[in-house]
Structure 1
Amino acid sequence: MNAQQLVDERGDLWLALAPLWLDREPSERDFAAMVEEIQRHEMTLKELEWMFRLELAPVMSRHQLSIASEWRRYDDYKLMKQLVSHNLRLTGWRRKGWALFSGLTTMMVRHRWHELMQRVLVARGEQPF
């Protein structure tokens, strides 16, 4: 997969989910936009979980831990470049390494992710867990 394919296939979803890592709780509007974008991509909960752990969290957690991080809003262009770069290298041992450490990179936003997945289930007409 090349950079343009990644942007075309995942870009909108990545940017919609980025507010999970901001230094504030996502608003109702944020959650609604995330659910809407997730619904457009028609991914299973398992696929969403692995996208969250492997494609997003390694990049986004660095922003969260950085002293000079963006706290209120991300620069979409800069963030997309970082996400594409990470995902182009996400093969073999790197993929396995991020899978191994994904608990650490997701723990700061796990409560937000759980809330989002509850909302996705409700939007799909399924029983929340």
Structure 2
Amino acid sequence: MSCREDAWLALSELWLDTELDESALRSIATRLRASGLSLDELQQIYAYEVAPQVWLNHWAVAGVWEGFEAQWLLAGCRRNQSGGRWHRLKCRVLRRPMTYGCRAEWQQILAFLADRDFN
């Protein structure tokens, strides 16, 4: 599995229908740091590749809570990765509803990643 695919799987957990505590957020941040991808790249992956694939789960009455099916997730993220200008425009327009349910958690993860002492 590639480092980008690992990042997709880790980030998708932000949209599961579960409450993520600090330990879970630290675990996601650890996996993202281990991917070796830059912070800018991770932010692009979050907004343009993962969010468009999984965001409706936060708006579902009874969403997925155990984990997204990996083949479905990876295929969708690959498709989103190769999306052109229209895809990026849709993501910018829909950014708030796509990230509404996990914005605070994402900010915590970014803080962990920015902390040089975070392991």
Q: TM-score by structure 2 length? A: 0.79
Q: 2:73 — aligned with what?
A: 79
1:8 aligns to 2:5 (yes or no) = no
Q: 1:106 — aligned with what?
A: 99
Q: Does the 8 Å contact 2:6/2:35 carry over to 1?
A: no
Q: Which runs of 5+ in 1 are unaligned?
A: 1-6
In structure 1, give the amino acid aligned to 2:94: F
**Matched residue of 2:105: which SS?**
helix
Q: Does the 8 Å contact 1:53/1:102 carry over to 2?
A: yes
Larger Rg: 1
Q: Does the 8 Å contact 1:63/1:69 carry over to 2?
A: yes
Q: How does 1:14-93 map to 2 (within 5 A)?
A: 14-67=8-61, 69-88=63-82, 90-93=83-86
**In the comparison of the two structures, how many residue pairs are matched?**
118
Over the residues paired in the alignment, what is the CA RMSD in angstroms?
A: 2.4
In structure 1, give the amino acid aligned to 2:85: G
Identity %: 23
Q: Does the 8 Å contact 2:50/2:77 carry over to 1?
A: yes
Compare 62-71 and 77-86 and name the one that shifted more. Answer: 62-71
1:115 aligns to 2:108 (yes or no) = yes
Q: TM-score by structure 1 length? A: 0.74
Q: Which runs of 5+ in 2 are unaligned?
A: none
